[in-house]
Every structure is written in structure tokens, then in C-alpha cells.
Amino acid sequence: MAASADHPQTPSERLIGRAIAATWLLWLVGALYIAGPVIGWLLAGMVFAEIYLGRKSLAIIPSSVWLWLGSMAAMLVILWAGHANFSLGTAQTVKSSIGWAKGWALIALFPLAGAVLDIRLSVITRAVCRLGMWTLIILPFFLIAPFAGLPEMLWVSPMKAVGGPGPEYFATILYTIEPGAGTPRWQFFAPWSPAAGMVAVIYIFIAAQEKELVWRIVGITGFLAIAVLSQSRLALLAIALVAPVTLAIARVDRGWLWWLMAPAVFMIGLFGTELIALIEQLSNDFSAARADSSRVRAALGRIALERWENEAFWFGHGVVENGPHLVEYMPIGSHHSWYGLLFVKGLLGALALAAPLSVTFILLLWHARHGALQRLSFALTLVLVLYSFGENLEILAYLFWPALVLVGKALADLHPTRRNPSSEDKDPAT
């Protein structure tokens, strides 16, 4: 793939590279939702093997990754407490614990793998660009499907028997029809369109780190097409926001940047009232672009907060519950990691995500100017922070896991006992 003959790929690199490149094949057979957890636990097994055999030491695991591990383990304990409080029974507790292993656990296991195993950035970038190439090849088929009379859904894989949040995670869906508008909308290999937009944004930033220009253009183009065709408002906002913020943070110690910012700050102060009004108008337009969706999301949030505060403040309700007809029977707290956590796992669950996410964000924010890997990982973390207010992160970890691997790798390179970062991870401009 991206490895040269002098630097053959390690087993972990082969697993990661081939899994990413095989995304469309896994989607076709309905195995993506299964593949993510399997890869995560296989990589964890490789980590434990490396440490057991003495080839790696626990000392190389940074405290920030330990915080992720401890926080996600706390999620399981909190889950058990919530189940006990509401007497949900052993069968439901076992089922929810398996769900934890396929969701929250992955958000810690993938950074652990990135921190300990020898995984080069170039392997991941090339695999992502190859996936972008296949996306461009099959894209015309998706675009033609709704106009050629092809069915929206081809099939639901029998793999759904292993259990999951819903059949959409195992379905091969070509397109959907937007309610009210009657226009086609695409979700590609994600369970719904905004999730496709999220993964596309993450892969755009990863593909941008590819060294070879042709591959870089192919990768970015493929996932930019997914971001646009998913019609996700948050995806377009993330692309427009994350790139300039990351560039500014990476150049914060350059004098010329401050000179450029000075007039901008002056203008903001001069036209502050008008700017606030403009932001409010843009926010209203953002919600009005898909008014029904915004209404349902807001109602789900209100219900989640009210029931969390009144019924299960510390440990939550333990399980997801469907809302009333007002929210089209959608799960309470869905479309929002924080509302979902408060409802299902209470205040302690929300803190268990907030603590490691905040520490990771601050660390990478501070070090983004020191190297390409840190800058990329900061951008990916910022995307996750943004999407935590529009998606349930744990339920989509099986899709955006390459970002978690890179975040773990970046955190390890900040550790005092870190490996010497490879030349590909260094920023030649620093």
C-alpha cells in the first residue's frame, strides 16, 4: 500500500489498511457494523500481546490514553448502576454490556492501539485515498439509482442476527427520499445521511495528509462528493470551520498571523451588534433548511433533559427509550451525545466523556503547531466535538475509528517516553 520495500507493513498496519480499503465491500454484505468492533478488539489484543511479550512497555501509554481507558470503563460501571436502579434484569444488562463493548469501549481501544502499536500515518492516508477512489468509481451508480427506478434498499444482511441498534446498520441502501421535499438523499455506507457527512469530513482531513498529489486529490474529491451529496448541514459547516481554525492554531506563534487578526478584531468590535444579528439569522436559516428535523431534534433534547433531571440524575435510565409521537417515536436523546448520555447514563456518564475529550482537545490544541500529525489529530478531535452535538458518537465509532487511531498516535508522540516520531509525521515548516 503506502509502505516501501524497506519498510514492510506491520500486522496492525495491514489490518487497518485493508479494513479501510474494504469499506465498500463490507457495506455490500452488511458487515461494517460488525467489522468495527472486531478490528478494535483485535488491535487491543495485539497491544496486550506486545506488552506481555515485552516488546512494548506500559510506560509508553500516555496518561491521556489511560484517562480514555478509565473513563470508558467507568461507562460500563455506570451502565450497571443504572440497570440496577431500574431493575432491568440480567438479560438486559448483558445485552447492554455487549452494546458497550461495540460502542464506548472502542472510543478507548482505538486510541490505545494508535499509542502503542507501530502504525504509520502514510498507511492510513493511502488506504483512505484508495477508498476515495472506489467511491468515485461507484458514485455514478448511486446518482442514477433514484432516477432509474431502482429500489431504495437492496437488502438487509442476515448478519443483523448478531444484534445491533437497528436494521439500518446492516442494510444496503442506495438512497432515501427526503420527506416533504421528495428529493433523493444519499447516505452511502453510513446508517443515515448526516453520519455519512461526518465520516466524509474526517476522511477529507486524513486524505489531505497523503504525500502523493494524485492520490491526495482523488481521496479529497471522493469524500467531498459524499459530504455534499449527504446534504448534511453540519458536514458543510465542519469543513468550513475546522480547516481555517486548525490552520490558525498551527500558525498561532507566527507574527504575521497576529497582524492579520488585528483588523479583524477591530471590525468585530466596530460592528459587533450587526455581527450578532447576522449570526442569529444564519442560525435560524440553518434550522429552517430542514425545519422538521430541527424541530424533532429540539424536542428530543427537551424530553431527555427533563426526564434525566427528574428521574435519573446520577446514573441515568440505563437503556435507550423511544419518545412519543411528537418526536416520531425516535429514541430519546438521539442526535446528541450529551443529551443521550444524560438520559441513559446520567451526569456521571456525561462527565466520563467530557473529561477525556476535553483533555485530548486541550493537549492537541496546544501542540497543533508542532507537527503535521498533531495538527491533523486536533482537526479530527474538533470534528468529533462538533458532531457530539449532532450525533451519538459511540454508535458511530465503528465508522470513524481511523480518526481515533490517529488521535492515540498523536497523544503518544507527546508523551515523555514516546517513540521518535517518524519523518512522515514531522512538519517540515516547524
Pick the residue with more confidence: 277 or 337?
337
Task: Label residue 4 by pLDDT band (50, 70, 90).
Answer: very low
pLDDT, position 286: 47
pLDDT reading at 287 higher than 60: no
Q: What is the chain's mean pLDDT, rounded? A: 85
CB atoms within 10 A of CB 334: 23
pTM beyond 0.85: yes
User: Minimal CA–CA distance to 402: which of 188, 201, 267, 167?
Assistant: 201
**Of all helices (H) and strands (E), which one includes residue 402?**
helix 397-413
SS3 of 173, please?
A: strand
Query: Is 347 a member of any domain?
Result: yes
Q: Residues with Cβ < 8 Å from 150, sequence gap 6 or more?
A: 144, 174
User: Minimal CA–CA distance to 34: which of 148, 169, 124?
Assistant: 169
Question: 155 pairs with which residues across the strands?
Answer: 172
Pick the residue with more confidence: 83 or 323?
83
Strands 176-177 and 171-173 come out as: unpaired
Determine contact, residues 300/332, Cβ cutoff 8 Å. Answer: yes
Question: 173 pairs with which residues across the strands?
Answer: 153
- Alpha-carbon gap, residue 7 to 13, rounded angstroms: 11
Task: Report how many domains make up the chain.
Answer: 1
Backbone φ and ψ of 63, nearest 5°: -60, -30
User: Minimal CA–CA distance to 124: which of 269, 275, 259, 21?
Assistant: 21
C-alpha cell at 398: 465503528
CB atoms within 10 A of CB 176: 16
pLDDT reading at 327 higher than 70: no
Query: Is 126 a member of any domain?
Result: yes
Query: Is 430 a member of any domain?
Result: no
**Maximum average pLDDT range among 86-100, 162-176, 274-288, 321-335:** 86-100
Task: Label residue 418 by pLDDT band (50, 70, 90).
Answer: low
Q: Residues with Cβ < 8 Å from 256, sequence gap 6 or more?
A: none
C-alpha cell at 104: 464506548
CA dihedral 297, 303, 305, 306 (to 10 degrees): 160
Query: Is 3 a member of any domain?
Result: no
Determine contact, residues 390/286, Cβ cutoff 8 Å. Answer: no
Query: Is 252 a member of any domain?
Result: yes
- Alpha-carbon gap, residue 145 to 84, rounded angstroms: 48
Query: Is 44 a member of any domain?
Result: yes
Task: Label residue 119 by pLDDT band (50, 70, 90).
Answer: very high
Q: Which domain holds residue 340?
A: 11-425
Query: Is 4 a member of any domain?
Result: no
Quick one: DSSP state of residue 163?
-
- Render pLDDT for 215-273 as a digit per residue (tens, 0 to 9): 999 999 999 999 999 988 889 889 988 988 888 787 655 554 544 545 654 444 555 45
C-alpha cell at 244: 481555517
